[in-house]
Amino acid sequence: QPEPRPREAADARIPGYLVQEEARLAEQFARPPVRLELIGQLAETRAQIAEALARQGELERARDYLLGALELEPEALIRWERLGDLSVQVQDRALAQQAYLKVLTLDPAHRATRAKLASLALAQRDYAAARRHLEIVLADEATPREWLPIATLASLYALTGQTAQGRQYFSRMAMATGDDRFVLAEAILIQADGDGKGAAKRLRDIEGGEMTPELLKRYAERLRREFEPGLLDKLFKWLK
């Protein structure tokens, strides 16, 4: 049986009605038999207290109350994700990773959480893990594709010496989706391999695309002018 959360009736950071409700429910919880409905009510009250504390900047206490809610309802996916977010904010990366992985256990297709795991892996310089997470995120057909994660993945392939694998991935994604941002990422890795002419040729495919947005065409044209063999310092400034 989980320990009741500490009751702090005089704490002005927690709305009084929530303190009273948590005290009432915790008292009932301590007297078996415990109804399932009571467990849900107590978990929800603790989650509400956690949000109240988070709004006041009491992030560590908010995390503790949220853990109390999850002790009661361990299958609550949204609360696990919120626990991960709070843990990131208090620099507890280990707990954040544990919480996000729990989300993926409950819903393997949860794209937002996988992207957060990629960010955590990047912060820990676990580039291989970050690369794997981003590959899965970008391969999901339902994912709104943006340039930043694509560019980040391109840089990760380069940093881990996996440019050949990255070129294959981006070429395959470009063919499957028709999205010229994957063509641009492939060109970046061609350049990273020292083939400036090949990169420039690939970029011309973007410039000549009938359905390609004008902004992307201008981006590709400007990048192509700067592509020279061996100048990775210029290359990576485009990834920032």
CB 193 within 8 A of CB 163: yes
CA distance 99 to 115: 14
Res 8: pLDDT: 44
CB 137 within 8 A of CB 114: yes
Q: Tell me the average pLDDT across 37-64.
A: 91
Between residues 208 and 115, which one has the greater pLDDT?
A: 115
Q: Give ∠ CA 110-124-88 in degrees, rounded to 5.
A: 55
Q: Tell me the average pLDDT across 111-123.
A: 92
Res 33: pLDDT: 83
Provide the percentage of residues in the chain whose pLDDT is more than 90: 42
| Maximum C-alpha span of the chain | 76
Mean pLDDT of the chain: 82
Q: Tell me the average pLDDT across 217-233.
A: 56
- Which DSSP state fits 130? H
Q: Tell me the average pLDDT across 123-129.
A: 90
Res 2: pLDDT: 45
Res 3: pLDDT: 46
Res 235: pLDDT: 45
Q: C-alpha distances in angstroms, 168 versus 129, 177, 210, 234?
A: 19, 14, 24, 23
Banded pLDDT at 232 (limits 50, 70, 90): very low
User: Hunting for tokens 């390609």 — which residue is that?
Assistant: 212
Q: C-alpha distances in angstroms, 38 versus 6, 25, 70, 223?
A: 18, 7, 14, 61
Res 221: pLDDT: 66
Token couple for 101: 């992985």
CA distance 157 to 54: 37
Token couple for 130: 């970050």
Q: b/e string for 110-144 if b means 16 or more Cβ within 10 A?
A: bbebbbbbbbbbbeeebbebbbbbbbbbbeeeeee
Res 93: pLDDT: 93
Express each pLDDT in 3-17 by its tens digit.
Answer: 444 444 346 577 777
